[in-house]
Amino acid sequence: MRDVYIVSAVRTPGCRRARGAFSQTRPENLLVQALHGAVGRIKLDPAAIDDLMVGCAFPEAEQGLNIGRVAAQMAGFPDSVSGATVNRFCASGLESIAISSLKVANGWCDVAMAAGLESMSIVPMGGNMPRPHPEWAKEHPDVYVSMGITAENVAKRYNVTRQDQDEFAYNSHLKAAEAQKNKLFTEIIPTNADKYEELKDGTIKRSTFVQDFDDGVRADTTVEGLGKLRPAFAATGSVTAGNSSQTTDGAAASILMSEEAVKKYGVKPLVKFKLYAVAGCKADEMGVGPAYAVPKLLKLAGLKAEDIGLWELNEAFASQAIYCARQIGIADKKYWAADSKEKRINISGGAIALGHPLGCTGSKLAATMVANMVRLGVKYGVESMCIGGGMGAAALFELC
């Protein structure tokens, strides 16, 4: 097996569903710009790319028709660059990187591209026409249950209090705001966004503007303010809009190479993509997935949790992120508090502040992970996320 190097990793900003900067921008346009950004950073001729894998949680409507191939063609890549669409729900973007890495590692190709995409403004969560199997749904409704209810189940079953969740959410916004202030999101590419408005004569005017920051970060968030929010999924629950991830639009892309390709194209390797692991869990508490996937990953790597310098533990909900951190052994507040000098978890904020554009998130977090590992000189980083239907995924990155 050959070593696999990530040589470029970028993302668009993450912008709020319906109210954010990308709410009227077609998903293909977001993805094309991410693809251009990834090749542009290393001045790579797209003709060198063998294949493109695009993660998307709901690949239908504007995100349908094999957007992996469509986007490559819209980006102006030569016909020789093939494309496919990957779906592992919330981990689709990370799955695209894992599949691409296997191709490079096995010598099936030398240059692969992996991406993630989701426009939650244009293609709704659950899709436009969900059709659960009627008999199966009666026997196992947990498979189709709302993600918010699974977060409530985790909070209740594993004693994650409302105060725990709100404090974790507060720190997510603080870390994200600090990262924005210090211009640490170097993986972001300025992205063109569309806006449509009806004029007095009834015609529609289309205008374009540039978006270069995540627009869901609330620097003025307080624990007290979060505490006033009503439960979002259960009348007596503890999961609120404030301690849950934001529904978001965005795209991200990475380029992976073999050592031979790194030398041939004269690019600088950033990190090695070392390992990937997935694991299943109960569907009605899908958020605990990382608690199973991360130990599996670390065992494969021969590492312990204390060996990992940075974690991107996706904040689908504060309840599940907290529980998973406890199980992994990294729940001490010093690892995630904004004012801690020892923080390792989501050091630039997480999905509660920055958003969770479903199929994009795995690719988006990888771009953030790579940027932070390079900036801080951290040897090992782990990205992990829970997945709808009851799964977890985890990936190991090693600094070059």
Residue 391's alpha-carbon distances to 18, 91, 192, 286, 344, in angstroms, are: 28, 9, 34, 6, 23
Token pair of 354, please? Answer: 């920055």
Q: Which of 15, 173, 281, 356 is an active site residue?
A: 356
Q: Given the structure tokens 């070059």, which residue do they identify?
A: 400
Residue 194's Cα: distance from chain center in Å?
Answer: 23
CA distance 81 to 339: 46
Percent of residues in the chain assigned helix, strand, coil, to nearest 5: 40, 25, 35
Q: Is 356 a catalytic residue?
A: yes
**Residue 6 is which amino acid?**
I
Helix (H) or strand (E) holding 30: helix 27-42
Q: Which of 15, 56, 360, 386 is an active site residue?
A: 386
CA distance 204 to 394: 45
Q: Which of 56, 90, 281, 360 is an active site residue?
A: 90
CA distance 110 to 377: 26
Residue 371's alpha-carbon distances to 8, 116, 213, 367, in angstroms, are: 10, 17, 16, 6
CA distance 75 to 68: 11
Report helix, strand or coil for 288: helix
Q: Which stretches of 101-242 are assigned E, i.e. beta strand?
A: 111-119, 191-198, 204-211
Residue 144's Cα: distance from chain center in Å?
Answer: 22
Q: Nearest-CA neighbor of 94 among 278, 336, 325?
A: 278
Token pair of 350, please? Answer: 């997480």
CA distance 302 to 110: 27
Contact 315, 352 (CB under 8 A): yes
Q: Is 15 a catalytic residue?
A: no
Q: In the chain, how many H helices and how many E strands? A: 12, 12
Could you give the angle at which helices 147-157 and 318-328 cross, rounded to 10 degrees? 50
Q: Is 386 a catalytic residue?
A: yes
The residues carrying an active-site annotation are 90, 356, 386
